[in-house]
Amino acid sequence: MSMTGLDAFDTTVHKTNRWLNELNELAGWDSKQKAYLATRATLHALRDRITVDEVAQLGAQLPMLMRGSSSSPGSHGSSAATTSSRPSAWPAPSSRC
């Protein structure tokens, strides 16, 4: 039976859980929240250091839930020059990560 009623959602939830479970196993953790925050911080750091094309290629390989939600350029205090080179589908870095 479908968890959400939408195959696309069920697939991304399943893939995201597999990623987080594997990270927990590799890191010796037992918290999906910790695995999610570590993954999110890593993706933010990568996003800020690679080209737009590389960001697009990386994002295409991620489960939909790991791609993040939309954010507007400059929403985290960066200059327009740095945010304009980044796809808007990637979330802005968070100071909490």
pLDDT class of 79 with cuts at 50, 70, 90: very low
Give yes or no for residue 86 having a pLDDT over 70: no
In this predicted structure, what is the pLDDT of residue 80? 35
Architecture of the CATH domain 1-66+91-97: Orthogonal Bundle (1.10)
Residues 64-90, mean pLDDT to the nearest whole number: 48
Q: Is the dihedral of CA 18, 40, 70, 48 positive or negative?
A: negative
16-68 per-position pLDDT tens digit? 999 999 999 999 999 999 999 999 999 999 999 999 999 999 999 999 988 86
Asked whether 35 and 20 are in contact (CB, 8 A), the reply is yes
pLDDT class of 78 with cuts at 50, 70, 90: very low
Q: How many CB atoms lie within 10 A of CB 90?
A: 22
